[in-house]
Amino acid sequence: MTDILAAPATGAARGDAPAPASPTTQTQTQTQTQTQIPAPAPVSPAAPESPKSPEILEAPESPETSRPARLAGLARLGRRVRLGPLVRRAPAVVLLAATWEMLPRTGAVDPVFVPPLSEVLRAWYDLLLGGQLLEHFQASLVRSLTGFGLAVVLAVPLGLAIGWYRPVADFLSPVLEIFRNTSAVALLPVFILILGLGEPSKIVFVFYACSWPILLNTVSGVRTVEPLLVRSARSLGLGPLSLFRKVILPAAVPTIFTGIRLAGASSILVLLFAEMVGAKAGLGYLVQDAQFSFRIPDMYAGIITISALGLLFNLLLLAVERRFSTWRTT
Amino acid sequence: MSAHATGGDTGGETLVNGAAARLGGFRAGAFPRHSPAALAPSSARTPAAPSQVKIGIRDVGKVFRTRGSDRPFTAVTGVDLDVREGEFLTLVGPSGCGKSTLLDLIAGLTAPTDGEILIDGRAVDGPGLDRGIVFQQYALLPWRTALANIEFGLEAKAVPRRERRERARHYLDLVGLAGFEHRYPHELSGGMRQRVAIARSLAFDPDVLLMDEPFAALDAQTRESLQEELLRVWEKTHKTVVFITHGIDEAVYLGQRVAVMTSRPGRIKEIVDVRFDSREGDLRADPVFGEYRHHVWSLLRNEVAAGREQERTVD
Ligand SMILES: Nc1ncnc2c1ncn2[C@@H]1O[C@H](COP(=O)(O)OP(=O)(O)OP(=O)(O)O)[C@@H](O)[C@H]1O
Ligand SMILES: [Mg+2]
């Protein structure tokens, strides 16, 4: 959660006018985002706080046919995901769950408005069995992934072009500056007006919201490439194309990924908003609808699912990011 | 304008006395002095005519247009200098006098506003693989391992992959970093990084090695051992080296000639021929070394003072 909250600040601070002290800015951003990594982050086996993890990481693929499948699955997960931080974080989560369970039961909180966790989980299970949950989940996932995917596919190349070609930047900057400062939320009515209440308006809405962090980070990633690296590559006889492919792009990847992760977080955020405003399906709709019809446990079940979705998305992006930047210090 | 006189002298000698130099046994270049074993004139170390001009810098000037000021900024002006084939030339001068600017010009990373720079008699019109640069900061790609960084220098040359790898290994070996192939730059010490950078410049086998204060950021011990390594490589490969440094000791120790620049706008003030009878033992303790050192120091002192004065008036 800290991840999602803290990250946009970095993105906003970077802006499209990159800070002069480029490498530091970049590393700072990076370290910051890296330290925020939630529990299952097998970055390097060097983390001193988790003495258990190396063994877990190195444990051989044991044939666990005898054990129940669920346990085997957990063990495999643990090996990949690193139990150390998970164990460290578990107490807080357990405490939260216990509080949620106890407060309504003791009457400290009105159980009508905040039902105990067990009830919420039961409602969640019912929704799952009934198939509604999957339906809403799928609706939300398809929308946010489509919008997000479009944003990655379009904003990254555009950002590269803006960062690399001065004329493109000069031409587009004023317009981008205007749009950048126009909240996506403010534009939702426009999207609905033009595209109707169906899928397109939501996807475009998500796409729009996701594009900015990706675009701005890509631009700044390209612009803040260490000039010395460029000079040295030129002195080694690299033409503009190989220079771009072999120096600019790899150097910008970490910053681009910061933008992509920010976009991932906002894709879910803005989608929920859209689904609450007008939709027939989706997790946002589920929460809103449950509240309207006073199915309070269902509402919380929806909220939990949303959190899980956000967490999952972020983890996925982190894994991809790590794959692309194994060379980093942290 | 002793600069012009000196530069002219060298040029004249090249044209007129080229043959004489060849016959008379390393008169001007004094090549063998660095390796005692090669002191004998019969040494096969320098097959080419020793005083052939490799880099010709002809009345070169560089003017920068700086943002927010319409007054052009002259970094170097009227620089005349001939660097001979296979020579180790060190370049010293007060900070900001335009040494790096000059090196960039030779490298072809920037173009001169006046005059011209010739490599083997041909005007420079951009970077080329006949010249390798070692920058003051370690310009290694952080996402590539030591080996891959060295290979990077070979990729523009269309060397086949297998050979790239082999050559990279060879040069990593040469700078004493065998076993560190797969380390990323951040996993290497400063001195190791600089050695990788040097290996990269050597790997694509340029005729000319341009080095901009490559050892400035290192501790004395590392610096000395890298100096030794550099001399060893230079003796083995006969490359032409232009080596910028702030260290007078380093300049005298490494250079066959030390070019001293004036304060900005930089030009060549004087070129000091450095010659030792023998490099056996601790060269730095040699009284002759001290004399050269003092000479270069006094040349520089006046320039540094002039530079300070000038900077004060600019502000
Ligand atoms: N791209 C540039 N634009 C404007 N001025 C520049 C540029 N590059 C260098 N200069 C100026 O030219 C002068 C010479 O710079 P240069 O880097 O060549 O000095 P230097 O002799 O290498 O100094 P140092 O020994 O401190 O490295 C300096 O005053 C610097 O401000
Ligand atoms: Mg310099």
Structural domain total, chain B: 1
* Mean pLDDT value of segment B150-179: 88
Residue B129 in this model has a pLDDT that exceeds 80: yes
**pLDDT above 50 (res B228):** yes
Min CA distance, A291 vs chain B (Å)?
51
Q: Which protein residue has the closest C-alpha to ligand 1 atom 6?
A: B64
Asked, for residue B206, whether it belongs to a domain, the answer is: yes
Within 8 A of B204 by CB-CB distance, chain A residues are: 236
Quick one: pLDDT band at residue B184, thresholds 50, 70, 90? Answer: very high
Kindly identify the ligand whose nearest atom is closest to the C-alpha of B97: 1
The amino acid at B167: R
B246 C-alpha vs ligand 1 centroid, how far in Å?
Answer: 14
For ligand 2, the distance from its centroid to the CA atom of residue B289, given in whole angstroms, is: 25
pLDDT at B173: 87
The answer to whether residue A148 sits within a structural domain is: yes
Highest mean pLDDT among B2-6, B34-38, B183-187: B183-187
Show the DSSP H helices in B114-211 as ranges.
Answer: 146-155, 161-174, 190-203
The pocket of ion ligand 2, defined by CB under 5 A, consists of B 100
DSSP calls for B48-98: S-TT-EEEEEEEEEEEE--TT--S-EEEEEEEEEEEETT-EEEEE--TTSS
Contact flag A228-B157 (C-beta cutoff 8 Å) = no
pLDDT tens-digit map of B34-48: 433 333 333 333 334
Q: How far apart are CA A159 and CA A139, in angstroms?
A: 29
In a domain, A154, yes or no: yes
- Min CA distance, A46 vs chain B (Å)? 14
Name the token pair of A29.
């951003």
CB-closest option in B133, B141, B156 to A242: B156
Are B152 and A246 within 8 A, CB to CB? Answer: yes
Write down the pLDDT at residue A75.
54
Has residue B102 been placed in a domain? no
What local confidence, expressed as pLDDT, does residue A31 receive? Answer: 38
pTM: 0.69
Q: How far is the CA of B98 from the centre of ligand 2 (A)?
A: 7
Pocket mutation for ligand 1, best pick of B66, B70, B73 (most atoms within 8 Å of C-beta)? B73
Mean pLDDT of chain B: 79
Question: Residue B20: CB partners within 8 Å, gap ≥ 6?
Answer: B27
Instruction: Tell me the per-residue pLDDT of B258-287, one tens digit each, with 9 for 90 and over.
Output: 999 988 888 898 899 988 877 777 788 788
> Considering the domain boundaries, does residue B111 fall inside one?
no
Phi, psi of B210 (to 5 degrees): -110, 120
Distance from CA of A254 to the nearest CA of B (A): 11
A177/A156 Cα distance (integer angstroms):
17
Helix (H/G/I), strand (E/B), else coil: B199: helix
Q: pLDDT exceeding 90 applies to what percent of chain B?
A: 32
**Which positions in chain A have a beta carbon within 8 angstroms of at least one beta carbon in chain B?**
226, 228-229, 231-239, 242, 246-247, 250-251, 325, 327, 329
- Provide mean pLDDT across the span B64-92: 88
pLDDT of residue B71 exceeding 90: no
Contact A236 B107 (CB under 8 A): no
Query: Which residues lie across from B123 on neighbouring strands?
Result: B118
The string of pLDDT tens digits covering residues B191-221 is 889 889 988 988 888 889 999 998 887 788 8
Whether residue A25 lies inside any domain: the answer is no
* Alpha-carbon span A240 to A232, nearest angstrom: 13
For residues B53 and B11, the answer to whether their CB atoms sit within 8 Å is: yes
Per-residue pLDDT of chain A (330 residues; tens, 9 = 90+): 333 333 333 333 333 333 333 333 333 434 333 333 333 333 333 333 333 333 333 334 444 444 455 555 555 555 555 566 667 778 888 999 999 999 989 988 888 899 999 999 999 999 999 888 999 999 999 999 999 999 999 999 999 999 988 888 889 888 888 888 888 888 889 998 999 888 899 999 999 999 999 999 999 999 999 889 999 998 888 888 889 999 999 999 989 999 999 999 889 989 999 888 888 888 999 999 999 999 999 999 999 999 998 888 889 888 888 887 767 654
Q: Using alpha carbons, select from B139, B108, B296 the residue that is nearest to residue B214.
A: B139
User: What distance in angstroms lies between residue A44's CA and the mean position of ligand 1's atoms?
Assistant: 41
Bond into A189 cis (ω within 30): no
d(CA B288, CA B275): 9
Inter-chain CB pairs, A–B, below 8 Å: 55
Place of tokens 């900070």: B95
Cα–Cα distance list, A14 to A11, A255, B46, B177 (Å): 5, 10, 56, 39
Q: Which domain holds residue A298?
A: 139-324
B72 domain-assigned: no
Q: Is the CB of B144 less than 8 angstroms away from the CB of A247? A: no
* Residue A97: inside a domain: no
Is 60 exceeded by the pLDDT of residue B296? yes
The one-letter amino acid at B12:
G
Beta bridge pairs of residue B236: none
In a domain, B71, yes or no: no
Measured distance CA(B85)–CA(B1) in Å, rounded = 25
Task: With respect to residue B53, please indicate whether it lies within any of the assigned structural domains.
Answer: no
User: Three-class SS of residue A186?
Assistant: helix
User: Ligand 1 site: residues with CB under 6 angstroms?
Assistant: B 64, 66, 73, 75, 93, 95-101, 264
* Domain-located, residue B148: yes
Inter-chain CB proximity A231 and B109 less than 8 Å: yes
What is the count of structural domains for chain A? Answer: 1
Hey, which residues does B84 pair with through a beta bridge? B53
Tell me which residue in B129, B135, B142 faces A327 most closely, judged by beta carbons.
B142
Residue with tokens 């420079």: B124
Domain that holds residue B135: 3-45+87-93+129-313
Kindly give the number of the ligand 1 atom that is closest to the alpha carbon of B213: 27
Predicted local distance difference test score (pLDDT) of residue B146: 93
**CATH code: domain of residue A197:** 1.10.3720.10
The span from the CA of A237 to the CA of A239, in Å, is 6
Angle between helices B146-155 and B161-174 (to 10 degrees): 120
Q: What DSSP state is assigned to residue B266?
A: B
| Structural contact between residues A11 and A258, judged by C-beta atoms closer than 8 angstroms | yes
Question: In this structure, is residue B122 part of a structural domain?
Answer: no
A206 in any annotated domain: yes
Return the sign of the alpha-carbon dihedral for residues A226, A228, A229, A233.
Answer: positive
- Could you tell me the CATH number of the domain that includes residue B192? 3.40.50.300
Task: Tell me which chain B residues have a C-beta less than 8 angstroms from the C-beta of A30.
Answer: none
Find which of A26, A232, A234, A323 to mutate to test the B interface (most B CBs within 10 Å of its CB): A232
Q: Measured between alpha carbons, how far is B197 from B203 in angstroms, rounded to an integer?
A: 10
**Band of pLDDT at residue B176, cut at 50, 70 and 90:** confident
Find where tokens 């894994």 sit.
A319
The predicted structure's pLDDT at residue B178: 87
